[in-house]
Chain A
Amino acid sequence: MNCRELQTALTPYLDGELIAEARLDVEAHLAACAACAKRVEVERHNLSLVRALWQGGSPRAPQALRSRVFDAVRADDARRRRQRWVKVSAAAAGLTLVVAVGNHQYRAFQRRLFEQDAALRHARQFPLEIRDPKTTDLEQWFGGKLDHPVTVPRFPNATAAGARLLQVRDKPAAYIRFDAPRPMGLFVYGDDHEVDVGTEPAVSNSNGYNVVSWRNGDLVYQLVTDLDEQDIRELLPPSHPVAHPADQGTPTLDVRPASLQR
């Protein structure tokens, strides 16, 4: 190593940044060259002095600054948490809506399946097990044959042609057929609110039939008929209008046990 090379190595040498080999080279040169040794000494002295003066008595961060900085971090942290919470709640609300809509769609779909099944079974014209009964006899005849008591609504202008046991999908049902004024079939089955039918009679169309559905507690009634809505209205007492599914109407059909009606 010569004096010029030492000059370039001086800074990293003083900072202890030289690898061992290079450091030994420098030290070998310094041992042999008094001028460079002197220069290194001066540099080392000056560097120490500057560092000592600078670092000694360096001001500390003011307490007010510390508080301000940590307050700002705290506030930002709180804001982040609120935002995260808002995001989570928004996601939860979105999910709830999806579930609600999905559930609503699913229930409407299920109800359609029951309406369709009732319409199809009525159309099959299964043989009746009991013919020309009185309404009260019907309730007696069904007694014990099903898990639920059967109450048969009385339609003022219609007479029952007969009855039998049938099913609507998986539910054992009482089936009562009327021939006059037009053929109609009435299904009565127990349902623990699995089928989306309300207490208000509602008409929908299924397989060419109109299906009027309503509920009385755990009993679901489905009346399958080829009468149009106007005729259904006439069939039923005029004070009991038939509601569309979306309508809010007054109770329409008198579904008390026949023995309690009029």
Chain B
Amino acid sequence: MLGFKRGGHDRAEFEALIAPWLDGLYASALRLTRNERNAEDLVQDTVMRAWRFFDRFERGTNFRAWLFKILTNTFINSYRRTSREKSLQDESERQSVEAQFFSPDTTDQATNPEEYLLERVLREDVLKAIDGLPIDFRMVVILADLQEFSYKEIAEVLDIPVGTVMSRLFRGRRALQKALLSAEQASPAAEPIDLNAFRERKKLG
């Protein structure tokens, strides 16, 4: 009626779009902030920013990616500054990411021969290992392995090249497995989990 071409500020439309993603935002915020209270604040800030900028969201494009871009930016801008997060950007990405990724000196692999994770690993162990990842790796791992975004989407969300996504994911997962393997060795007895049941659920879903 008023000739909005691109956006608009329709609250009902916004609420309908965002409602399905609140759980995902919260679960991701928990791993970003590692603290329930901050996670709730982060989600609320994210939703308010998304609402304020809703007229800039181009209808028909990837709303979930747009939302997670706001989530990660909000986190980087406000939470990371206050929490003592250390960025990898300075240390390991000073040189080209590609150069590292394809480096012949692949110390990670050399010193960590692949090993099966035992199926009795606990969820708490996984979360603890994720929380121990440096933030740049953690963000990529959250987006890829919790939210199951594609590389292209992650590149868009974090505003980094796809090659960087791949490299961080590779290194992040490696560090994660390393942490889990050493946790396994430290506490040998735990409840087994039924991986096959999960796979069946995934297939059905």
Q: Are B195's CB and A49's CB within 8 A?
A: yes
A59-B24 Cα distance, complex, nearest whole Å: 9
Number of interface residues of B (CB under 8 A): 49
Within A42-68, the residues touching B (CB, 8 Å) are 42-43, 45-62, 65-66, 68
Stretch from A5-13, A213-221, A234-242 that touches the partner: A5-13
Q: Are A61 and B23 in contact (CB under 8 A)?
A: yes
Question: Which residue of the partner chain B has the closest CB to A43?
Answer: B114
A54 to B22, CA, bound (A): 17
Could you tell me if A53 and B48 are in contact, using CB atoms closer than 8 angstroms? no
Alpha-carbon distance between A207 and B127 when the two chains are bound, in angstroms: 96
Contact indicator per residue, chain B 126-157, by CB within 8 Å of chain A (1) or not (0): 11001000000000000011100011000000
Q: Which residues of B contact A (CB under 8 A)?
A: 9, 11, 14-15, 22-23, 25-27, 30, 40, 43-44, 47-48, 51-52, 101-102, 104, 106, 109, 114-117, 119, 121-123, 126-127, 130, 144-146, 150-151, 166, 169-170, 173, 176-177, 180, 193, 195, 198-199
Q: Scan A1-30; emit 1 where CB is below 8 A from any B CB, else 0.
A: 000100110111001010000000000000
Categorize the interface residue count of chain A: 35 or more
Instruction: Give bound CA distance, A7 to B102, whole Å.
Output: 9
Q: Which of B114, B121, B126, B176: most chain A Cβ within 10 A?
A: B114
- Say whether, besides A8-B101, A54-B146, A46 and B48 are in contact (CB < 8 Å): no
Q: Which residues of A have CB within 8 Å of B101?
A: 8
Nearest-Cβ distance from residue A108 to partner chain B, whole angstroms: 39
**Smallest CB-CB A-B distances: 4 pairs:** A61-B26, A52-B198, A42-B114, A61-B22
A77 closest partner in B (C-beta): B11
Q: Is A74 an interface residue (CB 8 A)?
A: yes
| Complex-state Cα separation, A69 to B123, whole angstroms | 28
Is there contact, CB below 8 Å, between A53 and B166? Answer: no
Most-contacted residue by chain B among A7, A43, A53 (CB, 10 A): A53
Known contacts A42-B116, A61-B26; A17/B44 CB under 8 A: no
Please determine whether B11 and A39 come into contact, CB atoms closer than 8 angstroms: no
Closest to A7 in B: B109
CB of A50 within 8 A of CB of B117, answer yes
The residue from A38, A46, A48, A59 contacting B26, defined by CB atoms under 8 A apart: A59
A to B CB contacts below 8 Å, 18 in the list: A17-B150, A17-B151, A43-B114, A46-B116, A48-B199, A49-B117, A49-B119, A50-B117, A52-B198, A54-B145, A56-B123, A57-B123, A65-B43, A68-B44, A73-B48, A73-B51, A74-B11, A76-B52
